[in-house]
């Protein structure tokens, strides 16, 4: 009788062990199969063609500032290509070389024998690029929005990344028209969308209200001042996310660098759950 009871205990133990092993196997399979949340560090910076507030033209200083914050995606404004004032340097190509990041350049105006516009830098492959000229009112400086598809994962899940620099004049009619144009670019977008740049507008402006029809701030804070560079009091530089995308802020900060440009850089870390 005792032997029969012992056999039953041993059999039950073996079943228990098998069940535990199966649970471990299934648990491991689930953990390996689940895609982790998509997390991105997004930087926007008006670099003033590398001319610092100390009067020194130093593109390496800009590149070092970018490298120090380890971004995944970067939107840069006021970038020269072969312009005399920047020693005829191809700044987009040089920034790509100095940072080791993928690069796309959207030129909007001719300048001193070269071109001038916006740059996207990316840690991930840039698969498609298109530069759109924005509405121009009252013969102002031609502005643009640079659009790139970024292959952020090995799966078929690109990011639509837009980088822009809007009109700076007091009358905001051109900025509002540009905001409406940018909204139209993502009306039918099937992929997650991000917008970054110098919008020359404060958070409670009519410009941001128009953009809020298609975008929302990546930051939770009501304002992260980026200008004036020495003691910032106004935010005019932003990272925005598409309103149909479930992005959430992990962190947001204005970087302390106050010498390399006349703007502070804004760095936002965002995360979106995998589908």
* Higher per-residue pLDDT: 275 or 147: 147
Backbone angles phi, psi at 238, to 5 degrees: -145, 155
pTM of the model: 0.87
Q: Would you say residue 17 has pLDDT above 50?
A: no
Q: Which of 173, 126, 116 is nearest to 147 (CA)?
A: 126
Kindly give the pairing relationship between strand 38-46 and strand 215-217.
unpaired
Write the pLDDT tens digit of every residue in 151-169: 997 666 799 999 999 999 9
Look at 24-33, 74-83, 99-108, 229-238 and tell me which has the smallest mean pLDDT.
Answer: 24-33
For the chain, what are the domain ranges?
1-34, 39-272
Give percent of the chain above pLDDT 70.
85
CB-CB contact of 46 with 62 (8 Å)? no
SS3 152: coil
Nearest C-alpha neighbor of 85 from the set 118, 110, 120, 103? 110
At 249, list the tokens.
């802020």
Closest CA to 221 of 203, 206, 209, 208: 203
Q: Share the mean pLDDT of the chain.
A: 90
Inter-residue contact 43 to 74 (CB < 8 Å): yes
234-267 residue pLDDT tens:
999 999 999 988 999 999 999 999 999 999 999 9
What pLDDT shows up at residue 190? 86
- CATH superfamily to which 39-272 belongs: Endonuclease/exonuclease/phosphatase (3.60.10.10)
State phi, psi for 178 to the nearest 5 degrees: -65, -40
Instruction: State how far the Cα of 112 lies from the Cα of 83, in Å rounded to an integer.
Output: 5
In contact, 120 and 68? CB cutoff 8 Å: no
- pLDDT given at position 153: 79
Among 36, 78, 26, which residue's Cα sits nearest to residue 57?
Answer: 78
Asked if the model's pLDDT at residue 174 lies above 80, the reply is yes
pLDDT tens sequence across 61-86: 999 999 999 999 999 999 999 999 99
Judge whether 213 and 187 are in contact, CB under 8 Å.
Answer: no
């Amino acid at each position: 009788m005792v032997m029969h009871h012992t056999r039953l205990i041993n059999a039950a133990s073996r079943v228990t062990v098998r069940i535990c092993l199966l649970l471990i196997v299934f648990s491991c399979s689930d953990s390996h199969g689940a895609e982790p949340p998509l997390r991105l560090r997004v930087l926007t910076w008006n670099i003033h063609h590398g001319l610092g507030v100390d009067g020194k033209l130093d593109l390496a200083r800009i590149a070092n500032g970018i490298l120090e914050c380890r971004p995944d995606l970067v939107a840069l404004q006021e970038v020269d290509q072969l312009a005399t004032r920047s020693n005829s340097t191809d700044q987009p190509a040089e920034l790509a070389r100095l940072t080791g990041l993928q690069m796309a350049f959207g030129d909007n105006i001719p300048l001193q024998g070269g071109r001038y516009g916006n740059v996207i830098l990316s840690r991930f492959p840039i698969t498609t690029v298109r530069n759109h000229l924005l509405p121009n009112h009252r013969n102002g400086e031609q502005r643009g929005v640079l659009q790139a598809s970024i292959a952020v994962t090995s799966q078929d899940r690109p990011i639509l990344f837009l980088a822009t620099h809007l009109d700076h004049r007091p009358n905001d009619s051109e900025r509002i028209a540009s905001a409406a144009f940018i909204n139209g670019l993502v009306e039918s977008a099937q992929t997650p969308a991000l917008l970054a740049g110098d919008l020359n507008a404060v958070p409670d402006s009519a410009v941001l209200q128009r953009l809020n029809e298609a975008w929302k701030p990546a930051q939770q804070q009501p304002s992260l001042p980026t200008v004036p560079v020495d003691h910032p009091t106004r935010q005019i530089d932003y990272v925005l996310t598409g309103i149909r995308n479930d992005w959430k802020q992990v962190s947001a900060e204005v970087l302390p660098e106050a010498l390399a440009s006349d703007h502070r850089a804004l760095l936002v870390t965002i995360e979106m759950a995998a589908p």
